[in-house]
Amino acid sequence: MDPVVGSALLGGAGGIVGFWIGSIGRKPRYGYRRKALIEVLGGTLVGSCVGFALSQHPLTFAIIWTWTFIAGLVWSSLSHFVRLWLTRRIRQSLGGLRNAWQTTGHDPKKASIPTVRLAVRWPASYWARIFDLLGLTDLSTGEVRAYEKYRSVFVWEALEEARRAWTIWRWLRTPRALTLVATSLAGVAVYLVTFGVLTEDQRNIYRHLIQAVVVCALLLQLPDPLVDDNGEPDETAAAWSFYRFWCSLLASWVLLYLLMYWHARIGPSKNAESYWEVSTHLMNNVNSWYSLMCFLVLYDPPFLKFDSPSLLVRHERVTMSTRYVAAGIVTLLAVAEIWCYATKRTDNIVWSEWAAGLVGAVAMAHLVGRLESDYINPPLVIIVVLYFYAVLQATRGALKLSADWESALLALAIVLKCLLVLFITWLLESGALSRYMRSTRIDRPAPRERELA
């Protein structure tokens, strides 16, 4: 049996044993199957990784498989610890907010500062829902919904008026912004250090892993959008829709970088090279699709109230058709590339690199174009830099022409990507996104649009 396959099976077995041992004294009340699945699949993945790493050394199968089984047990134990810690933390916040809701007479503005801090601390309600979906909490569905509701109400009532005055420069002095900036600077510093301490081959492997870790760290620190959960549902639903697409975009970036890391880690293979290339280009185009979805939410916010039902149906039809057309283009590019490899027409396959870059550049430019709206009123220098980042996407096809050129572009890309994440985080936390959604549909046209009218 292949050592990696055997390691994956034994890692999964370790996850099963660990889950069974952990459930003897305390059987999960909610999501039993999800919890078992995350421990078994996680143990399988960890076991395969450990098995692959150990198979590079002259060790017997017995030693390799023993360590992979132990790795599955460790993963299961870690999952139990994370589940208990997350459940306790979320319930502590939820209990504090419920008590404050009763003691203040349903007026969050009278809540104490420590109580308000419970409403903004990690994890965000969106991540509480994701962790619960992954089987990493023991929360009930009602607890997850209550956690989201109480946090949204307390933050809006207690902090919206103060946050309305936040410019992006003032926001950069807040604790969350400083944490995100520190994370970005640490990631960029580690990336640059690799040029001095690693060989070119090692740098080509670990640079993708560094980018995946940095984006994942920024993603986990994203706050919930500041919305009025008790007010008009249109802008609230639209803000949450943008937030979900934005989180999905960041998650797809993480998956792309992990895919590129494993491609570089395993090394070139004549038989598998086509699969890696198609998968990488497909994931890059999926990133572009999510960027376009973020643009569509800003350009024409969903969940609108029309006096005429026919207008609402027409709006939904246009929005959904645009999504399907964009998804069709992504699929068509993947099918075309697969066809080129299947028919041995690989001489001009470089078009797929340029196509992925151009699609990403167009999608990102559209998104940045909406972010410069007068309703948001961002600093001009940030918009110029973000447009430069959009143009930089189009150079993807030139990355393999020179190793130095590729390293320089990727170093610049991670800096600009961090800047984009910081800007969107300000948009979410300051309430500017919710106000934009309302102004786009309810308020008068922006000054610039009135001049052009």
Q: How confident is the model at residue 65 (pLDDT cuts 50, 70, 90)?
A: confident
Cβ atoms of residues 192 and 157 within 8 Å: no
Region 22-31: mean pLDDT is 61
Of 29-33, 128-132, 326-330, the range with the lowest mean pLDDT is 29-33
> Is residue 368 scored above 90 in pLDDT?
yes
Alpha carbon of 275 to those of 172, 334, 341: distances in Å? 43, 11, 9
CA angle at residue 240 from 235 to 243, to 5 degrees?
125
Is the alpha carbon torsion for 225, 227, 229, 233 positive or negative?
negative
Please, what is the average pLDDT of the chain?
81
Long-range contacts of 193-201 (CB under 8 A, 24+ apart): 195/407, 200/403
> Is residue 291 scored above 80 in pLDDT?
yes
Instruction: At 17, list the tokens.
Output: 């044993």
> In the prediction, which pLDDT does 265 show?
79
Cβ atoms of residues 34 and 133 within 8 Å: yes
Region 203-211: mean pLDDT is 87
Phi, psi angle pair for 149, to nearest 5°: -65, -50
> Is residue 149 scored above 60 in pLDDT?
yes
Say whether the peptide bond before residue 123 is cis (omega within 30 degrees of 0). yes
> Is residue 189 scored above 80 in pLDDT?
yes
Cβ atoms of residues 361 and 393 within 8 Å: yes
> In the prediction, which pLDDT does 216 show?
94
Amino acid code (one letter) for 242: F
> In the prediction, which pLDDT does 26 show?
58
Among 297, 298, 303, smallest CA distance to 316 is for 303
* Alpha carbons 195 and 201: distance in angstroms, whole number: 11
Region 415-441: mean pLDDT is 89
> Is residue 313 scored above 60 in pLDDT?
no
How many CB atoms sit inside 10 A of residue 102's CB? Answer: 8
Cβ atoms of residues 238 and 232 within 8 Å: no
Count of CA atoms in the C-beta half-sphere (13 A) of 298: 28
> In the prediction, which pLDDT does 424 show?
95
How many CB atoms sit inside 10 A of residue 358's CB? Answer: 16
Among 2, 34, 37, 46, smallest CA distance to 16 is for 37
> In the prediction, which pLDDT does 447 show?
41
Cβ atoms of residues 154 and 116 within 8 Å: yes
- Of the two residues 87 and 270, the one the predictor is more confident about is 87
> In the prediction, which pLDDT does 450 show?
39
> Is residue 62 scored above 80 in pLDDT?
no
Q: Is 284 helix (H, G, I), strand (E, B) or coil?
A: helix
Q: How confident is the model at residue 405 (pLDDT cuts 50, 70, 90)?
A: confident
* Alpha carbons 347 and 341: distance in angstroms, whole number: 10
Residue length of the chain: 453
> Is residue 445 scored above 50 in pLDDT?
no
Region 358-386: mean pLDDT is 91
Report for 147-156, 248-257, 304-313, 441-450: range of highest mean pLDDT: 248-257
> In the prediction, which pLDDT does 444 show?
45
Percent of the chain with pLDDT over 70: 83
How many CB atoms sit inside 10 A of residue 198's CB? Answer: 14
Amino acid code (one letter) for 332: L
> In the prediction, which pLDDT does 451 show?
41
- Of the two residues 212 and 77, the one the predictor is more confident about is 212
- Of the two residues 14 and 272, the one the predictor is more confident about is 14
Long-range contacts of 337-344 (CB under 8 A, 24+ apart): 337/277, 337/278, 337/281, 338/278, 341/274, 341/277, 341/278
> In the prediction, which pLDDT does 34 show?
79
Residue 451: is it exposed, middle or buried by C-beta count within 10 angstroms (0-12/13-18/19+)?
exposed
Q: How confident is the model at residue 245 (pLDDT cuts 50, 70, 90)?
A: very high
> Is residue 310 scored above 60 in pLDDT?
no
Chain centroid to CA 68: 29
Q: Name the H helices within 32-140.
A: 32-54, 61-103, 113-120, 125-133
CA angle at residue 90 from 250 to 227, to 5 degrees?
55
Q: How confident is the model at residue 297 (pLDDT cuts 50, 70, 90)?
A: confident
Region 144-158: mean pLDDT is 88
* Alpha carbons 208 and 182: distance in angstroms, whole number: 20
How many CB atoms sit inside 10 A of residue 380's CB? Answer: 9
Percent of the chain with pLDDT over 90: 24
Cβ atoms of residues 95 and 35 within 8 Å: no
Q: How confident is the model at residue 452 (pLDDT cuts 50, 70, 90)?
A: very low
